[in-house]
Amino acid sequence: MDKIRIRGGRPLHGSIAVGGAKNAALPLMTASLLTDETLVLKNLPILADINTLCNLLLQHGVGIRMEGAGGDCAGRVVELTARDITNTTAPYDLVRKMRASVLVLGPLVARCGQARVSLPGGCAIGARPVDLHIKGLQAMGAEIELEGGYMVARAPNGLRGAEFVFPKVSVGATENLLMAATLAKGETKLINAAREPEVTDLAHCLVAMGADISGIGTDTLRIRGVERLHGATHRIVSDRIETGTYVMAAAITGGRLEITNTSIGLIQSAVTVLEQAGVEFSPTPDGMIVSRANGGLVGVDVMTEPFPGFPTDLQAQMMALMCTAKGAAMITETIFENRFMHAPELMRMGASITVHGASALVRGRERLTGAPVMATDLRASVSLVLAGLAAAGETIISRVYHLDRGYEQLEAKLAACGADIERLTDDD
Ligand code: EPZ
């Protein structure tokens, strides 16, 4: 299995282009199931998770054409055509590889009146049930039974509009119900819906496909179902988590990075916290310039929350940053119940972290030291990369396949800015 070796202590200087958002691209690709015409998505990131979803969509009968896969992200295009859906089963083998596969459930039931989608099973960061996806579709008239590890959904006469109040904010359930509601009979009202930029991006694409949606960007979405959707061309929003990760790479190494093909507005809550911690931002027409203030970093408290709050997907990176700040930082995770798996690994690099339930108290240290470490999920892995970039000596990170799920060309982008980072394959 591949590993990443980092020799730390070099400030990063240069420019990094951010790609399209993985977590927007995945639901957008499943939206292609809602129409028999072609959906064209631009700014596509090339990632393992995108490949996994391509394989799932192919076996549903979707035709897929990709252009510019070798070039930079902005020039990348995928064309998805679900002229005939030949199979409405999403098998365990594919769903267990990637939970976002459950996003085919809403579109398949809405378009075909049936779907059989494997339950995703356990996850490293928490139990992550899909009960809200199921309850929402049931409210829209779908009959759903659990059979042999599968959600078997039927709506032979189509879905009907309904009012559904999310008892808890869920990005994936909002996306599934939003897509399903576009083809339901009558009006659907989703209350306490997720407002993440990826949900908003999906809603804009659905409108371009002919859907009737109001309240986009708020926590109440009204969807008036239409007879059919048509093809459209849509540019995938930039990846705010990749953006925030490179912001923290500049800060933790004491360097200065220009981050392009993105927007500071996508990470406003993180910018507010990071400015308090001593990170300086200047906006540019297509992104921002980031550097660490002269006085160095100071500890700040952070709590993860649904958008527009501080994103859980930047919590691990923030923890790595706080490990090198002056003073203490209390980091509280409110979205997932088991998302501190990176803490013991950071401690192997000399960090001082005490975890009490949903909070972690980080006491900053002058310097981390390199060590062999291992990660359990995508964001935990990248937090170890950040720690390695700042640490004295050599860090070897194993299980890097997690990184390939969500960070395109991570080593190349960092190395171009002066990082001493390389991938070791089994042959090395
Ligand atoms: C999305 O996951 C993202 N994934 C996650 O990114 C992200 O961490 C998460 O949203 C929160 O922002 C994609 O977009 C593909 P949720 P999702 O439903 O939709 C509970 C990454 O690193 N819940 O908003 O699965 C759930 O257990 C990943 O890129 C229910 O209880 O997250 C969690 O505690 C990791 N019942 C909370 O809600 C449900 O039916 C929020 O989960 C659904 C969710």
Distance 337 CA to ligand 1 centre (A): 11
Rounded mean pLDDT, 191-218: 98
State residue 68's pLDDT score.
Answer: 77
State residue 427's pLDDT score.
Answer: 64
> Which residue, by CA, sits nearest to atom 13 of ligand 1?
23
Cβ(362)–Cβ(315) below 8 Å = no
Dihedral-angle region of residue 310 (phi above 0 means left; psi in -120 to 50 means alpha; beta otherwise): beta
pLDDT digits (tens, 9 = 90+) for 361-376: 999 998 999 999 998 8
pLDDT above 60 (res 30)? yes
Query: What band does 410 get if pLDDT is binned at 50, 70 and 90?
Result: very high
Q: Which atom of ligand 1 is nearest to the CA of 49?
A: 15
State residue 69's pLDDT score.
Answer: 66
> Which residue, by CA, sits nearest to atom 19 of ligand 1?
172
State residue 310's pLDDT score.
Answer: 98
Query: What band does 17 get if pLDDT is binned at 50, 70 and 90?
Result: very high
pLDDT digits (tens, 9 = 90+) for 398-407: 989 899 999 9
Distance 232 CA to ligand 1 centre (A): 27
Q: Tell me, yes or no, if 123 is annotated catalytic.
A: yes
User: Using a 6 Å cutoff on CB, does residue 12 contact ligand 1?
Assistant: no
State residue 426's pLDDT score.
Answer: 74
Query: What band does 190 get if pLDDT is binned at 50, 70 and 90?
Result: very high
Q: Read off the pTM.
A: 0.97
State residue 244's pLDDT score.
Answer: 98
State residue 407's pLDDT score.
Answer: 96
Q: Which atom of ligand 1 is nearest to the CA of 312?
A: 8
State residue 74's pLDDT score.
Answer: 55
Q: Which atom of ligand 1 is nearest to the CA of 307?
A: 12
State percent of the chain over pLDDT 90.
91
Among residues 123, 205, 323, 417, which one is catalytic? Answer: 123
User: Using a 6 Å cutoff on CB, does residue 339 contact ligand 1?
Assistant: no
User: Using a 6 Å cutoff on CB, does residue 143 contact ligand 1?
Assistant: no
Q: Choose one of 28, 168, 178, 376 to mutate for the ligand 1 pocket test, by most ligand atoms within 8 angstroms of C-beta.
A: 168
User: Using a 6 Å cutoff on CB, does residue 129 contact ligand 1?
Assistant: yes
pLDDT digits (tens, 9 = 90+) for 241-282: 999 999 999 999 999 999 999 999 999 999 999 999 999 999
Q: Choose one of 103, 128, 337 to mutate for the ligand 1 pocket test, by most ligand atoms within 8 angstroms of C-beta.
A: 128
Rounded mean pLDDT, 123-135: 88
pLDDT above 60 (res 72)? no
> Which residue, by CA, sits nearest to atom 31 of ligand 1?
129
User: Using a 6 Å cutoff on CB, does residue 335 contact ligand 1?
Assistant: yes
Name the phi and psi angles at 390, rounded to 5.
-95, -15
